[in-house]
Amino acid sequence: MDKPIFSIEMKVRDYECDAQGIVNNANYLHYFENTRHEFMTSVGISFKEAHEKGIDPVLSRADLHYKTPLTGDDVFISSLTVERKGAKIIFHQTIRRKSDNALCCQGNIEVAVLEHGRLSRGDYFDTMMSNYL
């Protein structure tokens, strides 16, 4: 991943771990989603306002690669870069454990934009993210 354009620090909560004491794989999707939402908020995008205008970004594909497991109480940094490919917005995301910078998970998340229920290019988001695309 290129130099991240946005990062957020988070902490593993006990209930996110499985019987082996490691973070359940599905929680990485939650971490990545939270990071994307916080990034969008930081550039002035309100999902509620967009939805009220009939504009909805929806996940169309998630490709995750698990590297080093997180465990209970680990603090980690979730980061992203973003690019546009045709009608898709693609987020390249990583999660690194803060204590040793170990790469825990990396993923490419593809988002499509629906306007009034129909697939669109999502120019609304391009305007808001123009400094990053």
Residue 125 has pLDDT above 90, yes or no: no
Report residue 115 CA to chain centroid gap: 21
Which helix H or strand E contains 22, and what residues bound it? none
Positions marked active-site: 18
Contact (Cβ atoms closer than 8 angstroms) between residue 80 and residue 5: yes
pLDDT digits (tens, 9 = 90+) for 70-121: 999 999 999 999 999 988 999 999 999 999 999 999 999 999 999 999 999 8
Q: Find the mean pLDDT for residues 24-40.
A: 96
Residue 2, pLDDT score: 78
Q: Find the mean pLDDT for residues 55-60.
A: 93
Domain residue limits, the chain: 6-128
In this structure, CATH architecture of domain 6-128: Roll (3.10)
Of the ranges 21-35, 45-59, 118-132, which is most confident? 21-35
